[in-house]
Structure 1
Amino acid sequence: MKSKVSIIMPIFNAEKYLKRSIESVLNQRNIAYELILINDGSTDCSKSICSEYSRKYESIIYLEKQNTGVSDTRNKGIEQASGEYLYFLDADDFIDPNYLSDLLQGSEKYDLIIGNYMVAYDSKKQVLYENQTIDISFDELREKILDGDNSISGFLNNKLFKKKYISNNIFFNTNIHISEDTLFILEYLERINSFRIVNTDSYQVYCINDSSATMGDLTDRSLSSLYANKELLKLSKTKKEEKIIYCRIAKASIQLLNKAIKADNKNIINISCESLNRVDFKNLSLKYMKSHYFLALLFIKLQKDMYIYIYKQMKLRDKNL
């Protein structure tokens, strides 16, 4: 049977959660699918787990590659996929048994389908995002995806994409490692004609742990958050979208600065501060950026060295507690 949905799962050192994620796919009901596991140069037991499942189930395709990052890994999955729809699932996330069939029920004429999701933290805290607003325009959809802090989100995890609009047209930017999904979705919206937002009893669980790209320590790839938002700015169509993206730039720069202070990386401290110096308050809005970011930005602009000193002392105190 031809697969209706190709589920693309990039994997890097995911042995702790991988079986749970794969099993959640195998438990999908009433849908023809293929699961494409792409091992991005893992050094843990991920390879043996993938090999075991691929030998056991015909619906699983297993690929191995050198470590090049999640964007390139997803691109490899797109090349391999044969389904009408694409679904991207991270190796530490999982889905309800009816999730994919619920998304597709009555939705097959649509080019993008958006469902519910839950965010689960290592701390055991869980936040469910349900789609209460279903009838919105393309412009409103773009704004919600850019804003991100809502049931639509700028993540891939609660969306089904039609492959015909992606093949040979859209790829994940391999130079971007944070917010690459939002950029991909915005480019996808440029090519489609319809979308549907559904509210069902099933949902995808997006797990945030210490190894998540946006939660971890400073790495060589951390700067890509600034680059991603600059690319998003090029795709903006309205003043409102620009305002949302400038808020994203301010937040990303502050988060990057805090990580750089913690790591005592003077080069990235300077890059972050330069980015923040270019932010104009008139381009920002409390609707899209929480007040503590505004206060941090004001403090940095007025007393950069004092901000760096205080933040460093706070982190030293937390470390010694």
Structure 2
Amino acid sequence: MKYEKDKITVIIPVYNVENYLERCLKSILYNTYTNLEIICVNDGSTDNSKKILEDYSKRDKRVVVINKKNAGVSSARNAGIKIATGEYIAFVDSDDWIHEKYFEYLIRGIDTADLVICNYIRSYRSGSVETDDAYRVQSISPIDVLKNKELKSYVWGKLFRHQLVDEIRFSESEKLEDSLYNMDVLLNNKNLKINHVDVPLYYYFVRAGSLVNNIEAYSVLSLAKCFKEYYDKENEAEWKKVLAIEIIKRTLSARYIFIIIKNKDMIRECNALMKQCVKSTGNMKYLILYKLPFLYRAFRILNDPTMLKYEKQL
């Protein structure tokens, strides 16, 4: 293969995933692209995950295991970045898995770029997922990524040039660390060359109790505040507008929860944050939703009727 000489470091944070870990590892080890350094960071697992990792490291020299005290997914990923030696870096979550041509397609896409992104499929059960694997790639801009929820929200499904992210680390104090990491990459490299492989190559496994299913309103608001820091420093109108929309969307979501649980202090905090940004969106829709909370609730329920059940649980 043309690019086989280029090593890809794959960083996998691992915590109590004994039921899914082998599926993840096998999908990586049996990829068509083989020049891999697979750094598995055992973040203090108390189940059989550590033994599974040790067994695989004995069978395949590409598997490197780091054992550390539990400190969260960001800490685990940062530990992996610290010792990565590949020309490229990829992140895979230990309960997910990848297409057999995942790395082959991504490294082909990064030939003329610094970052390449592929599509993904949500899976709610174990087993194979049918996917169209015809190779399609197109160039996109950093601001295109920032506007696209599916492309900007996760660090998996991406291949980064090592030098691009060598000095960037995950926030160990925020739960929505992927969005912040991507924001750092994009805002610090506004002329970044990005290719989008328009093929679903990453399989994101949605399981009950997973972190993304239990994100608290406080965490969402905290992320909005982090974006506000970027917003305050930004001078370019187009970027400022996109950041304002990101802040408003997240704050609307957080306020919706605070209204249900009747936390007046947090409602006021949400309103104050949105008031500072809403004009920059240039969109009357966000002004209306900011002014009329009941309308935002109506939209949420219309799009997902199960929100009524969720409200009762709250």
Question: Paired residue for 1:300, among 293, 296, 314?
Answer: 293
Residue-by-residue CA offset, 1:68-120 (whole Å, 9 max, x unaligned): 33222211111111111100111222110111012223743532222232233
CA distance in 1, matches of 2:233, 2:59: 44
Q: Is 2:40 aligned against 1:37?
A: yes
Over residues 269-321 of structure 1, what are the superposed CA-to-partner deviations in whole Å (9 max), with x where a residue is unaligned?
Answer: 443343234342552538xxxx6x776433239999xxxxxxxx95587449x
Amino acid in structure 2 at the alignment position of 1:134: Q
Mapped contact 1:166–1:188 kept (Cα < 8 A): no
Asked if 1 retains the 8 angstrom alpha-carbon contact of 2:21 and 2:49, the reply is: yes
Q: Separation in 2 of the partners of 1:146 and 1:317?
A: 30
Change (3 A) 1:133 1:203: closer
Question: What amino acid does structure 1 have at the position aligned with 2:149?
Answer: D
Counterpart-to-counterpart distance in 1, 2:172 and 2:154: 17
Alpha-carbon deviations, 1:190-217, whole Å to 9, x = none? 5x763333345x6112334444444315
Q: Find the counterpart in structure 2 of residue 198 from structure 1.
A: 197
**2:278–2:287 contact (8 Å) kept in structure 1:** no
- Equivalent positions of 1:198-217 (< 5 A) are 198-200=197-199, 203-217=201-215
Counterpart for residue 241 of structure 2: 243
C-alpha distance in 1 between matches for 2:93 and 2:222: 19
Equivalence map 1:42-61=2 (5 Å): 42-61=45-64
Q: Given that residues 20 and 94 in structure 1 are in contact (C-alpha distance below 8 angstroms), is that contact kept between their aligned partners in structure 2?
A: yes
Aligned to 1:170, the other structure's residue is in SS state coil
1:275 to 273, 276, 298: 273
Note the aligned Cα RMSD (angstroms): 3.9
Match of 2:157?
A: 158
2:26 is aligned to 23
List gaps (5 residues or longer) in structure 2: 298-306
Structure in which a larger fraction of residues adopt helix: 2
Q: Would you say 1:225 and 2:223 are equivalent positions?
A: yes
* Contact 1:172–1:184, Cα closer than 8 Å, also in 2: no
Q: Secondary structure at the match of 1:177?
A: coil
Question: Any conservation in 2 of the 1:116–1:129 contact (CA below 8 Å)?
Answer: no
Question: Aligned partners of 1:229, 1:127: CA distance in 2, in Å?
Answer: 37
2:138 aligns with: 134
Structure 1's 77 and 47: CA in aligned 2 closer, same or farther, altered over 3 A?
Answer: same
SS of structure 2 residue aligned to 1:19: helix
- Match of 1:278, SS state, is helix
- Contact 2:118/2:157 (<8 A) preserved: yes
> CA contact under 8 A between 2:117 and 2:159: conserved in structure 1?
yes
Which moved further from structure 2: 74-83 or 171-180?
171-180
Deviates more, 1:20-29 or 1:81-90: 20-29
The count of residues paired between Structure 1 and Structure 2 equals: 298
CA separation of 1:303 and 1:188: change in aligned 2, threshold 3 A: closer
| Percent of aligned pairs sharing the same letter | 26
TM-score, normalization by structure 1: 0.75
Change (3 A) 1:270 1:45: farther
